[in-house]
Amino acid sequence: MTKGAPQLSFTVSLTGKEDAVRIGLAEAMALLAPLELDADEAGTVELVLAEALNNIVEHALAATDGDTAIQIHAKHGPNGLQVAIIDEGVPMPLGKAPVGNAPTLDVETLDMPEGGFGWFMIHSLAQQVQYQRVGESNHLNLLLAVGL
């Protein structure tokens, strides 16, 4: 942690709707302001959170009316920013977070993938990515080496 960096811990609650993701993401980023992250670090946090939250809305909560809650718990410590994202959507396939392999780009332009980059980015930018199903809830735990 940067010398004199403030201790930081917060929770953001949002519903599983696309517009709520934007609002919740903005709230989380505002709550990180005391860390005085540089542009690269802030961009990393924002990208990882956006990808994770959008995946939750698009996949885990797709069969709901969008009123299902998502919780973002964040705590900054000596190893960086620990983030736990909890939702009550359907579990991840096979009980694991996707591996996050890079999509194949050595193909004809018309065959280029339209998706598949999100988990690759999450795994590339986070130092730790852990998923577990706890009762009826999904718990995605991330460690981001920012504010150090």
For the CA atoms of 79, 35, 51, 95, the dihedral, rounded to the nearest 10 degrees, stands at 30
Judge contact between 12 and 33, C-beta under 8 A: no
pLDDT confidence of residue 7: 76
pLDDT confidence of residue 63: 85
Mean pLDDT score across all residues of the chain: 88
pLDDT at 17 over 70: yes
Length of the chain: 148
Reported as a single tens digit per residue, the pLDDT across 26-50 is 999 999 999 999 999 999 999 999 9
Mean pLDDT of 9-15: 97
Nearest to 64 by CA among 109, 17, 104: 17
pLDDT at 115 over 70: no
pLDDT confidence of residue 112: 47
pLDDT band for position 100 (cuts 50, 70, 90): low
pLDDT confidence of residue 1: 43
